[in-house]
Amino acid sequence: MLHPQARSLLDLMEARGLPATHTLSPADARQAYRERRHFTQPEAPAVHEVRDLQAEGPHGPIPLRLYRPAGGGAGVLPVLVYFHGGGWTIGDLDTHDTLCRELANGAGCVVVAVDYRMGPEHRFPAAIDDALAATRWIGREADALGVDASRLAVGGDSAGGNLAAVVAIAARDAGDPPIVFQLLIYPATDMRRQHASHARNGQGYLLTHESLTYYHDHYIDDPRHDLDWRASPLLAEDFAGLPPALVITAGHDPLVDEGADYARRLSDAGNRVSYVCFERQIHGFITMGGVLDEAHTAVGLCAIELRRALAASDGSALQF
């Protein structure tokens, strides 16, 4: 059953004749996404500090935005490195500003948002390269940033969830940086797009089959990359020894089945995982607290799990 508020939102978008993302150029799609947030997102909460930074990356400087939570002006705090969603094509620091503020305040941690390079200007694996470089830079610069590198989490929604999952695997393999938690919000985990939910939810629920193809083709320029675990983390060979995770999905989302499969693979490998599906919601709902009440529930859940996971340097505070 689709949530009545989600149904009303979809009906309103149709009544207003808003163009589908896949019909727009990347530049126009980015602008539309930035403008749409003013209607669907709640008011941005105040935090103690917002600071724009740059990390050193293999393709040039990577813009970052640091959020220090309200009441967190002094002392060293744990940190969440956050990667925004948008199909590796749209989205930026501004589209996810409110969510990052909410997570910082709710979890009592510093949040550092990463403005990674996107397609079609920068194809796979540029986003991965930036995500890894930014995470490692934050770990190296922890003292200057006032964060605790031993309590570092990664997270993201949709394409950002994909990047967070890949960073967690790459960091485990490299032994750097130590990551204690991963927050994966309706993550894209399989570029092959063959799960049953792609057909079941591929029309009528905002993120369509055509839009998924649009995003994929702006990011991936060689079909062989679909089989690379850095693009499709579900295809990684080894899931053992990964950080504890919270995986959130939406029931009316083409990505729901691959998100559930990813949580299952993590669990089967012996990792601590909580999996929660908001059965009545659509893709992208967590940033839509201005029109969807369940967005606040989801943000609150993320904040609670982050706070628990980051309470101890070894992640042992996370209990399931």
Nearest CA to 294 out of 279, 275, 273, 274 is that of: 279
Residue 127 maps to a domain: yes
Q: How many domains does the chain have?
A: 1
**pLDDT value at residue 320:** 24
Other C-beta atoms lying within 10 Å of the C-beta of residue 193: 19
Residue 44 has pLDDT above 60, yes or no: yes
Residue 146 maps to a domain: yes
Please confirm, yes or no, whether 232 is among the known catalytic residues: no
Residue 297 maps to a domain: yes
Please confirm, yes or no, whether 274 is among the known catalytic residues: no
pLDDT in tens, 265-303: 999 999 999 999 999 999 999 999 999 999 999 999 999
Residue among 158, 197, 211, 232 flagged as catalytic: 158
Residue among 96, 198, 216, 283 flagged as catalytic: 283
Residue among 115, 129, 228, 253 flagged as catalytic: 253
Residue 77 maps to a domain: yes
Cβ(212)–Cβ(158) below 8 Å: no
Residue 317 maps to a domain: no
Residue 316 maps to a domain: no
CATH number at residue 136: 3.40.50.1820
- Pairing between β-strand 181-185 and β-strand 245-252 as defined by DSSP bridges: parallel
Please confirm, yes or no, whether 225 is among the known catalytic residues: no
**pLDDT value at residue 312:** 60
Residue 231 maps to a domain: yes
Residue 315 has pLDDT above 50, yes or no: no
Number of residues that make up the chain: 320
Range of the domain at 245: 4-310
Percent of the chain as helix, strand, coil, to the nearest 5: 40, 20, 40
pTM over 0.95: yes
Residue 319 maps to a domain: no
